[in-house]
Amino acid sequence: MAAVTPGPSNIMVTAAGANAGLLRGLPCLLGVATGMGLMMFLVPWGLGSVVLGYPVVLKTLNWGGAAFLLWLSWKIATSTRIESSLEQEPVGYLQAAAFQWVNPKAWLVSASAAGTFLSAGAGSPVVQSVYLGGLFFLAALPSCFVWLAFGATIQRVLQSPRRLRMFNVAMGVLLAVSIVLIVA
C-alpha cells in the first residue's frame, strides 16, 4: 500500500512524532489521511484530467508546491522542541492536508488508482471515487501511524539538543530534496 511506503508525507509525519510525540502528532497524521482521501476522491472523479489538460495550471501547482514544500522543510529543520515545547507545534492538520496537493507521490498514487480501479461497468464515477477516497483514508490511518509511532519512539534518542537538531535538519533536507520530483 502506497501510504506505508517512504515519501514526503511520511517524512513529515515522522518529524511530527519525533518533535511533538504521539498525541500532538495526530493532527498531522489525520491531515495527511484526510488530504489524501480527498485527493483520491477528486482525482479519479475528474480533477486530474482538468489539471493535466492545462499546462499552465500544472506548472503553477508545481512551483507553488515547491515553495510550500520548502517552507515545510524549513519549519521541520528549524524546529527546537526541547527548548520550547509549548511554543513549537508540528505541522498541523490543515497544512498536512494541503500538502497532499503538492506531493508528487500523492498525485502519482491517485492517478494510478484511478486508472487501475475505476471501471465503466462498476457504476457511477462519483460512487467509485467515494469508495476509493474512503478506502484510502481508512488505509492511510494505520499506515501513517507506523511512521508517527516511529518518530515518537525515536524521541527518546533525541533528548539532547544536538541530536534533535541533527534529526530535524536531516528530515527537513529529505523533504526539501523531494522538490526534485515536483519541478523536474
50-72 confidence digits (pLDDT tens): 665 667 776 776 677 677 778 87
Q: What is the pLDDT of residue 81?
A: 56
What average pLDDT score do residues 30-54 get?
82
Burial zone of 121 (CB within 10 Å; 0-12 exposed, 13-18 middle, 19+ buried): exposed
Integer Cα distance of 129 and 132 in angstroms = 5
DSSP code at position 23: H
Q: What is the pLDDT of residue 142?
A: 94
CA torsion 146-74-19-141 (nearest 10°) is -30
Q: What is the pLDDT of residue 58?
A: 64
pLDDT at residue 78 greater than cutoff 50: yes
Q: Which three cell numbers stand for residue 7?
A: 515519501
- The CA–CA distances, whole Å, from 105 to 5, 36, 99, 112, 184 equal 10, 10, 11, 10, 14
Residue 93: name the closest of 27, 138, 37 by CA.
27
Integer Cα distance of 13 and 8 in angstroms = 9
pLDDT in tens, 132-166: 899 999 999 999 999 999 999 988 887 788 888 88
Q: How many domains does the chain have?
A: 1
Q: What is the pLDDT of residue 82?
A: 45
Q: What is the pLDDT of residue 101?
A: 86
Q: What is the pLDDT of residue 137?
A: 95
Mean of all residue pLDDT scores within the chain: 80
Question: What pTM, to 2 d.p., does this model score?
Answer: 0.72
Q: What is the pLDDT of residue 182?
A: 59
pLDDT in tens, 104-143: 778 777 877 777 777 767 777 788 889 989 999 999 999 9
Query: Contact 23/121 with Cβ under 8 angstroms?
Result: no
* Containing structural domain, residue 88: 2-183
Query: Contact 143/1 with Cβ under 8 angstroms?
Result: yes
